[in-house]
């Protein structure tokens, strides 16, 4: 049995110290000594110790072992008073000791305990209580961590709600300033609309000016080219005049052509001058528009500064809220991972518990069968006891009948003796009278003879 142990075997001193510190309390711990376990365990001390262990583990008080079950109609309950606590302790220990990997608990371990066997059982119980205390501390730590995580998540959710309320307060406009805000917003929209229209007009004017400038540049280039051509032609003409003697008709035709070209050039120059005057007027109007736009732009910049301040405040709040939310999400992720780990650990523990429970149920079924067999034997013994009690009752009834007869006979004898005594007394009285008479007759006869 010791080769297949799943728990260590402790020394008697260690067992005694553990029982005094963790199981027993008050005078029981002081009165419980080594002599109660070795060399010959005391049944009363061992039974009280098992009661205290059951009270520690299951909360089953010692006085509950002495209570008769009220849901059963038991005849002659006085007969069970002696065996009731022992049977209760035996049943509870049969349910408890498989948890301690002790599967062969017997009634003899209560009524006539042996030292080695008792130490083996107490070592199993001590190992289970050590394991129970360790797992309870771990469970309490997990429970404390879970409570703190729940409180932290609640505080985080509360902070998120408060931040959302602050955002709504910052984004919502109070009713006192709504009219002013609407006026400002409508004015800003009107300014934006007017500025967009003016900017479109300025852009169109700038485009027209650019087109006119490009046209003017092209025309100036053409004019310059024509001037260059004219100068070259004049040079050629002068050079050719020196070389060639032309006819007067050709000279006239060329002069007319030159005059027409000069007229065209003058007309183009006049058109360009008119266009330049128009452009100057448009530029002056655009300068005035730009001044007005600058004033509007300053107002817009002021409004944008106020909006930027508001946006910066909102951005700061959003950044703070986003940081808080990210931290809270990270905490929630960590909590969720911890929770999943806890759930997995709990699942593994539950699987182990179910397997152990199945094994215990099988062993418990075997124990229950043995207990049922024992209860059957106890019932047989009880039936025999009832038969003996019936016989005893019959003998008692017969004794009572004999006593009644004896009493009746004694009364009759006393009556007869009283009657006989009365007759005896009367006869004695008569005899005395007769003797007196005889004595008198004798005296008289003596006197007569004399």
Nearest alpha carbon to residue 119 among 257, 13, 31 = 13
CA distances from 307 to 120, 174, 302 (A): 84, 17, 9
54 is a domain residue: yes
Contact 57/23 with Cβ under 8 angstroms? no
Predicted TM-score of the model (pTM): 0.40
Contact 431/438 with Cβ under 8 angstroms? no
d(C-alpha 317, C-alpha 321), whole Å: 6
Number of folded domains that form the chain:
2
Q: CATH code at 27?
A: 1.10.418.60
398 is a domain residue: no
pLDDT at 287: 74
121 is a domain residue: yes
180 is a domain residue: yes
145 and 235 co-located in one domain: no
pLDDT at 2: 46
Task: List CB contacts of 118: < 8 A, sequence separation 6 or more.
Answer: 37, 41, 46, 109
Contact 15/122 with Cβ under 8 angstroms? yes
Of 92, 123, 157, the domain-final residue: 157
CA distances from 267 to 231, 258, 263, 272 (A): 20, 14, 6, 9
pLDDT at 242: 65
Nearest alpha carbon to residue 310 among 413, 173, 203, 170 = 170
d(C-alpha 158, C-alpha 155), whole Å: 5
d(C-alpha 44, C-alpha 89), whole Å: 12
Token digits for 52? 């205290």
25 and 151 co-located in one domain: yes
237 and 281 co-located in one domain: yes
Contact 134/23 with Cβ under 8 angstroms? no
132 and 271 co-located in one domain: no
12 and 149 co-located in one domain: yes
135 is a domain residue: yes
Burial pattern 120-149, b for ≥16 Cβ within 10 A else e, equals: bbbbbbbbbbeeeeeeeeeeeeeeeeeeeb
Cis previous bond, 129, omega within 30? no
User: Residue 227: which domain range?
Assistant: 174-317
147 and 200 co-located in one domain: no
Radius of gyration, alpha carbons of the chain: 66
Give how far the C-alpha of residue 305 lies from the chain's centroid of Cα atoms, to the nearest Å: 50
d(C-alpha 261, C-alpha 234), whole Å: 14
d(C-alpha 167, C-alpha 155), whole Å: 18
Residue in this structure with the two tokens 């100036």, named with its chain if needed: 220
73 and 180 co-located in one domain: no
143 and 219 co-located in one domain: no
210 and 130 co-located in one domain: no
Contact 301/196 with Cβ under 8 angstroms? no
44 and 116 co-located in one domain: yes
Of 263, 297, 317, the domain-final residue: 317
231 and 95 co-located in one domain: no
- Ordered per-residue pLDDT tens for the chain, 450 residues: 444 567 778 888 898 888 888 888 888 888 888 888 888 888 888 888 898 898 888 887 877 776 766 555 666 556 556 677 888 888 888 988 888 888 888 888 888 888 899 999 999 999 999 998 899 899 999 989 889 888 988 888 888 888 888 888 777 777 777 777 777 778 778 877 877 887 787 788 878 888 888 887 887 887 788 778 777 877 777 776 666 544 567 767 777 777 777 777 777 777 777 777 777 777 777 677 667 667 766 766 776 676 677 667 666 766 766 676 677 677 777 777 777 777 777 778 787 888 888 888 888 888 888 878 877 777 887 788 788 888 888 888 888 888 888 888 888 888 888 888 888 888 888 888 877 888 887 787 777 766
Token digits for 435? 């003797």
Residue in this structure with the two tokens 């518990």, named with its chain if needed: 353
153 and 183 co-located in one domain: no
CA distances from 437 to 22, 108, 429, 442, 450 (A): 105, 91, 12, 8, 20
């Amino acid at each position: 049995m010791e080769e297949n142990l799943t728990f260590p075997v402790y020394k008697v001193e260690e067992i005694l110290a553990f029982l005094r510190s963790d199981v027993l309390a008050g005078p029981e711990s002081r009165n419980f000594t080594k002599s109660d376990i070795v060399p010959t365990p005391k049944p009363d001390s061992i039974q009280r110790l098992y009661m205290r262990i059951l009270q520690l583990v299951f909360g089953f008080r010692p006085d509950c072992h002495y209570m008769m079950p009220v849901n059963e109609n038991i005849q002659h309950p006085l007969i069970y008073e002696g065996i009731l606590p022992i049977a209760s302790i035996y049943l509870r220990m049969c349910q408890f000791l498989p948890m301690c990997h002790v599967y062969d608990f017997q009634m003899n371990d209560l009524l006539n305990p042996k030292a080695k066997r008792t130490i083996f059982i107490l070592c199993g119980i001590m190992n289970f209580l050590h394991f129970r205390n360790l797992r309870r501390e771990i469970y309490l730590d997990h429970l404390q961590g879970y409570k703190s995580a729940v409180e932290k998540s609640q505080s985080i959710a509360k902070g998120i709600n408060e931040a959302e309320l602050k955002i709504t307060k910052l984004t919502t406009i109070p009713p006192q300033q709504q009219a002013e805000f609407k006026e400002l917003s409508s004015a800003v929209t009107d300014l934006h609309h007017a500025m967009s229209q003016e900017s479109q007009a300025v852009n169109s004017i700038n485009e027209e000016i650019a087109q006119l400038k490009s046209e003017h540049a092209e025309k100036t280039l053409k004019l310059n080219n024509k001037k260059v051509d004219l100068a070259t032609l004049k040079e050629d003409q002068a050079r050719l005049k020196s070389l060639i003697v032309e006819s007067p008709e050709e000279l006239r035709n060329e002069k007319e052509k030159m005059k027409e070209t000069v007229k065209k050039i003058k007309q183009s120059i006049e058109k360009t001058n008119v266009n330049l005057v128009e452009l100057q007027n448009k530029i002056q109007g655009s300068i005035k528009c730009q001044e007005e736009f600058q004033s509007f732009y300053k107002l817009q910049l002021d409004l944008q500064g106020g909006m930027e301040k508001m946006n910066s405040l909102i951005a700061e709040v959003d950044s703070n809220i986003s940081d808080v939310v990210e931290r809270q999400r990270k905490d929630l992720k960590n909590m969720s991972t911890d929770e999943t780990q806890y759930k997995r650990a709990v699942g593994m523990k539950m699987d182990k518990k179910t397997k152990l429970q199945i094994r215990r149920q099988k062993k418990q079924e075997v124990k229950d069968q043995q207990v049922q067999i024992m209860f059957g034997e106890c019932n047989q013994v009880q039936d025999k006891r009832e038969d003996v009690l019936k016989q005893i009752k019959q003998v008692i009834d017969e004794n009572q009948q004999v006593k009644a007869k004896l009493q009746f006979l004694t009364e009759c004898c006393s009556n007869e003796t009283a009657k006989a005594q009365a007759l005896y007394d009367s006869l004695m009285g008569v005899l005395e009278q007769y003797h007196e008479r005889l004595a008198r007759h004798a005296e008289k006869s003596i006197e007569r003879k004399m």
